[in-house]
Structure 1
Amino acid sequence: MTSTELSVRTPSAQRPPRMPGSAGTRGDRRGRTTNLTLGPSPLARAVALAVLAVIALAWLLPMLWALLTAFKSEQDASDPEHWGLPRHGFTLRGFRIVWERGDLPLWMLNSFLIATAVTVVTVLVSAMAGYAFSRTSFAGRRPLFALTVAAVLVPPQILIVPWFRQMLGLHLLDTYAGVILPQTVAPVMVFILKKHFDSLPRELEEAARIDGAGHWRIFWSVLLPLSRPMLAAVAIFVFIGAWNNFLWPFVSTSDPALMTLPVGITSVKDAYGVQYAQTMASAVLAALPLVAVFLFFQRHIVKSVATTGLGGQ
């Protein structure tokens, strides 16, 4: 045997043999991978389900109590020692009184018209502003965006007096425009849509520019169709906020024909004193349209929130 052959065979001869199941073998790697991919233990799942059930019950009990109180008589509802089923049976008297003393159909129509207008204007303006901050370059873009982010931290209640003075100067008090316009100021939606447009691939915009498209064409025909889940989520949250808004419609309107549902129900309650059964009946009536909207668009709402993650904002 030559020296060349010895120099080639010696390293292989000195290698220790691999034992089955030893570290570094394929079987061991498979075993470690299998252990890492195992889910939580049955005990951990049971504890998580129990905690979620307690949280869900804590969230559901006040709603069940409100619904139960709405169907009680005023005598049963005002009894502090009785919180269970009504002693004198269920009744619709609270709903009938609220319906007769107010103008609920008109207030619901006003709430629907105002909330729809606020949603359309807010989504359109916020989308255009988000596109401008994300995809265009203009003088003062960064300071303006910094002011927009800073405006997110400003509570809307602080702006009530400036809004009122502006609407008074424009002679828009007690008008639909006066109720709608201030509610379309939504810097948080501008911020969210700007970040969303930042995440979209710029190759699509460059391809559209090669075809001769301008900013408006790119915004309307390229980016908006890709942003439908985000726009739907933004529209849902804006609509719910506008429907439930009480303070600004209460300040800006004194005409009963322009009152929204929260303002109208509050005026009835203040005129006839605190009636617990009637208050809960009015709350149930005010929530029914939103419940109907959720049931009708349930699949789209869940898909939008799950796709965009807006529920965590």
Structure 2
Amino acid sequence: MNATWIKRLDLAGMAILIASLVLVVIWAFPIFWALLSTATPAETAGGFFRTYANVLFTTDLGRWYLNSIVTSGGVTIIVIAISSACGYAISQIEFTGRRLLWLLILGSFMIPVQALIVNHFFLVYQWGLLNTWLGVILPQLIAPIAAIVYKQFFDAIPREFGEAAFIDGAKHWQIFLKIYLPMNWGVTLALAIIVFIGAWNAFLWPFLAVTKPELMNVTVSIAEIRSYGVSGLAAAMMAGLPVAVIYLLFQRRITDAITMSVGITSDK
């Protein structure tokens, strides 16, 4: 009986392994195909690298990278700052409208950000922020999941920490910055990576908010790249390279953040 079960487990493990390998091949094939397609079969390795060198040095890719770094970094910093403060306030401070604010944050999941694009465009236009970094950043600050994650983790911290600090004369902002936030650096890092990657990959809003080529993000600029006479596919590969590197370096943190957010939203 035991031998039969062991045999079945071995067969099941082999089936899972084969299925995993098939999924890996399916996932990697588009990337492999894109790399091969950026150079013709007759080209040498030097020609292959020249294709990417042309994209890097004969276009404004450096400027587009800078635009993406500034806007994505700005979105990340502001979202983390606002969300952590909001999560702490809802979790630890008693104030009028606290429950209503929490319900509004939870209810915001019912409205996709894309449905607000027209309103965002008119507001940014009226404020004179089209073709500016700030105009790209502001509408991307809607990230309720970050506030929810922070609130749940602050709820898990024993209140004795805050009460002891209050007895010593600490203010709420001191307790938040010196006690609660340092206990959640892992959460902060994971959320920051997720927000940064999302802002870097954003296309629709940066495409609408910026019309000047020199102010475009790298993801939007791919549409303009052919005017430089270089490979559009190679440019697309280089546009996605930074987030691919970030994901490979911090994949465990990213997985943890996704797991936390899915678990929290499913509980709600």
TM-score by length of 2: 0.84
Of residues 273, 277, 287, the one that matches 2:240 is 287
In the other structure, the counterpart of 2:3 is none
2:172 paired with 1:215: yes
Q: Given the superposition, is the C-alpha separation of residues 122 and 307 from structure 1 closer, same or farther in structure 2, using an over 3 Å criterion?
A: closer
In the other structure, the counterpart of 1:79 is none
Deviations for 1:225-245, whole angstroms, at most 9, x for unmatched residues? 000010001000000011111
In the other structure, the counterpart of 1:60 is 28
Deviations for 1:96-153, whole angstroms, at most 9, x for unmatched residues? 5544663101001111111111110110001111111111121111122111111123
| Contact preservation (8 Å) 1:133, 1:141 | yes
In the other structure, the counterpart of 1:261 is 218
Structure-2 separation of matches of 1:286 and 1:101: 15
In the other structure, the counterpart of 2:259 is 309
1:115-264 pair list within 5 angstroms: 115-264=72-221
SS of the residue 2:231 aligns to: helix
Q: Which moved more, 1:203-212 or 1:94-103?
A: 94-103
Query: As a proportion of its length, which structure holds more helix?
Result: 2
Count of aligned pairs = 255
Structure-1 separation of matches of 2:147 and 2:211: 31
Q: Which has the larger radius of gyration?
A: 1
SS of the residue 1:227 aligns to: helix
In the other structure, the counterpart of 1:48 is 16
Structure-1 separation of matches of 2:236 and 2:261: 24
Deviation at residue 191 of structure 1 after TM alignment: 1.5
| Contact preservation (8 Å) 1:229, 1:307 | no
Unaligned runs of 5+ in 2: 1-5, 264-268
Unaligned runs of 5+ in 1: 1-37, 74-85
SS of the residue 1:138 aligns to: coil
SS of the residue 2:241 aligns to: helix
Deviation at residue 219 of structure 1 after TM alignment: 0.6
Structure-1 separation of matches of 2:64 and 2:254: 29
Structure-2 separation of matches of 1:168 and 1:303: 37
Structure-2 separation of matches of 1:201 and 1:211: 17
Deviation at residue 162 of structure 1 after TM alignment: 0.8
Deviations for 1:142-175, whole angstroms, at most 9, x for unmatched residues? 1221111111232221111111111112111111
| Contact preservation (8 Å) 1:174, 1:254 | yes
Structure-2 separation of matches of 1:172 and 1:142: 34
> What is the CA RMSD across the aligned residues, in angstroms?
2.6
Structure-1 separation of matches of 2:101 and 2:23: 41
Deviation at residue 310 of structure 1 after TM alignment: 3.6
Which residue identity lines up with residue 203 of structure 2 in the other structure?
F
| Contact preservation (8 Å) 1:107, 1:261 | yes
Deviations for 1:28-73, whole angstroms, at most 9, x for unmatched residues? xxxxxxxxxx9x9433333332222222222122221122212x23
Deviation at residue 301 of structure 1 after TM alignment: 4.7
Which residue identity lines up with residue 155 of structure 2 in the other structure?
D
Q: Given the superposition, is the C-alpha separation of residues 185 and 44 from structure 1 closer, same or farther in structure 2, using an over 3 Å criterion?
A: same
Deviation at residue 279 of structure 1 after TM alignment: 2.9
